[in-house]
């Protein structure tokens, strides 16, 4: 039976609690998964042995080889971002691996051992996860599992923001905050793919160099200079047509000042706070600006399926081109046993690109 690293009382509503009761059966197949007993810091992440999920109708069971971290994971660990109703309480929004089991009623031609990657509403920090087939994508043959795991959540988020929400057009200037993050590095490359002109903000010269290497036309160190002035200098005073913003409250005045008339400010995170004080509405009205807000995790399965399909048509083939037009950026990799250190690394805001966790499934039987 897989080694259990720590014991305790399960407090997760669905996954760990209900799964543990089922494990009394000696016939249950087990897996390792990261659980959270009490919301808190990285030390609250606990690796345990729990029953493996069984694919429902329309689902595919994935043997997870790698999972990637997202800022939402840190919020969920702290109890601030619960999963949608009915979804796994296990943290993790994107994985890559191989098909291990098939539910009934599948429409695709998935086969055992197919290399796949998937967008999840939860469940990624585990050796196995069951996912609706609509959220499954073939992993490009030229990418490792670690590289493939860095694609689904980050790249689909960036694609959604640019295409579904902002409806970016060729030649438009796109200001990307956190330009060296997972979503940021994806957004820079996708903006270029769609004929737009990305400019970025980041907190170090090293991060700006990475973004510029990926295609950013300009970069601004928000710790040392005014990105407002930089954007206006770059655009000849016009401002950015689109702003992709994961910062929120602390940046609102600078964002409005950077926005072009009739521009679109797309908010998808609030790392800089949620509160706004001042004449936000008047300033936006004077710009005829649009504030567009979007989250991906809480979207319907149909919305996500449409997104996966559109991404598969317009972007996914570019990862397999020679040379590749698009590429995931990996900052670092950790073992599943070291998940707490991976979280600390992200919380310190040191990463450039994606932080990936390697997962090696243990014995097939409990």
Q: What is the pLDDT of residues 191-245, one digit of tens each?
A: 999 999 999 999 999 999 999 999 999 999 999 999 999 999 999 999 999 999 9
What's the CATH number where 106 sits? 3.90.180.10
- Whether residue 317 is found in the same domain as residue 346: yes
- Whether residue 118 is found in the same domain as residue 44: yes
- Whether residue 117 is found in the same domain as residue 38: yes
Q: What is the pLDDT of residue 88?
A: 93
- Is residue 187 a contact partner of residue 158, using CB atoms and an 8 Å limit? yes
Residue 22 domain flag:
no
Residue ending a domain, choose from 293, 308, 339: 293
Q: What is the pLDDT of residue 273?
A: 78
Residue 6 domain flag:
no
Residue ending a domain, choose from 293, 308, 327: 293
- Whether residue 44 is found in the same domain as residue 103: yes
- Whether residue 201 is found in the same domain as residue 303: no
- Total count of domains within the chain: 2
Q: What is the pLDDT of residue 363?
A: 43
Q: What is the pLDDT of residue 361?
A: 64
- Whether residue 216 is found in the same domain as residue 203: yes
Q: By residue range, what is the domain housing residue 97?
A: 30-153+298-358
Q: Residues 6 or more apart from 311 whose CB is under 8 A from it?
A: 137, 155, 156, 159
> CA–CA separation, 111 vs 141, rounded Å?
16
- Whether residue 87 is found in the same domain as residue 146: yes
Residue 158 domain flag:
no
- Whether residue 259 is found in the same domain as residue 339: no
pTM of the model: 0.88
Residue ending a domain, choose from 249, 276, 293: 293
Q: Residues 6 or more apart from 348 whose CB is under 8 A from it?
A: none
Q: Residues 6 or more apart from 306 whose CB is under 8 A from it?
A: none
- Whether residue 98 is found in the same domain as residue 170: no
Q: What is the pLDDT of residue 275?
A: 83
- Is residue 361 a contact partner of residue 127, using CB atoms and an 8 Å limit? yes
- Whether residue 277 is found in the same domain as residue 340: no
Q: What is the pLDDT of residue 322?
A: 86
Low-confidence ranges of the chain (pLDDT < 70): 1-28, 361-366
- Whether residue 268 is found in the same domain as residue 317: no
> CA–CA separation, 354 vs 352, rounded Å?
7
Residue 51 domain flag:
yes
Q: What is the pLDDT of residue 16?
A: 47
Buried b (16+ CB within 10 A) or exposed e, 96-123: bbbbbbbbeebeeeeeeebbbbbbbbbb
Residue 286 domain flag:
yes
- Among 312, 293, 296, CA closest to 304: 296
Q: Residues 6 or more apart from 317 whose CB is under 8 A from it?
A: none
């Amino acid at each position: 039976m897989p080694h259990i690293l720590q014991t305790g009382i399960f407090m997760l509503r669905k996954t760990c609690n209900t799964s543990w009761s089922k494990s009394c059966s000696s016939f249950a197949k087990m897996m390792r998964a990261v659980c959270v007993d009490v919301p808190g810091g990285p030390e609250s992440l606990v690796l345990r042995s729990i029953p493996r999920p069984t694919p429902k109708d329309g689902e595919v069971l994935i043997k997870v080889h790698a999972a990637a971290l997202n800022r939402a994971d840190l919020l969920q660990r702290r109890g601030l971002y619960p999963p949608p109703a009915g979804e796994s309480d296990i943290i993790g929004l994107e994985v890559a691996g191989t098909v291990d089991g098939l539910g009934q009623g599948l429409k695709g031609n998935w086969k055992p051992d197919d290399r796949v990657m998937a967008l999840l509403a939860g469940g990624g920090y585990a050796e196995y996860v069951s996912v609706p087939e609509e959220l499954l994508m073939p992993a490009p043959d030229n990418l490792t599992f670690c590289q493939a795991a860095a694609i689904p959540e980050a790249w689909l988020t960036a694609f959604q923001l640019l295409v579904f929400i902002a409806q970016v057009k060729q030649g438009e200037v796109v200001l990307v905050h956190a330009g060296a993050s997972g979503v940021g590095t994806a957004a820079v490359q996708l903006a270029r793919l769609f004929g737009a002109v990305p400019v970025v903000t980041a907190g170090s010269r090293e991060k700006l160099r990475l973004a510029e290497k990926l295609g950013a036309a300009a970069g601004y160190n928000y710790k040392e200079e005014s990105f407002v002035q930089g954007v206006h200098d770059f655009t000849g005073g016009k401002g950015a047509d689109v702003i992709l913003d994961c910062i929120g409250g602390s940046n609102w005045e600078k964002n409005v000042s950077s926005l072009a008339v009739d521009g679109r400010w797309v908010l998808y995170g609030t790392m800089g706070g949620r509160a706004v004080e001042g004449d936000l509405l008047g300033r936006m009205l004077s710009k005829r600006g649009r504030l567009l807000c979007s989250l991906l995790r809480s979207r319907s399965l149909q919305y996500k399926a449409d997104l996966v399909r559109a991404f598969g048509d317009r972007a996914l083939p570019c990862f397999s081109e020679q040379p590749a037009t698009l590429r995931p950026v990996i900052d670092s990799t950790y073992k599943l046993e070291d998940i707490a250190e991976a979280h600390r690394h992200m919380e310190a805001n040191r990463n450039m690109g994606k932080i990936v966790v390697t997962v090696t499934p243990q014995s097939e039987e409990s």
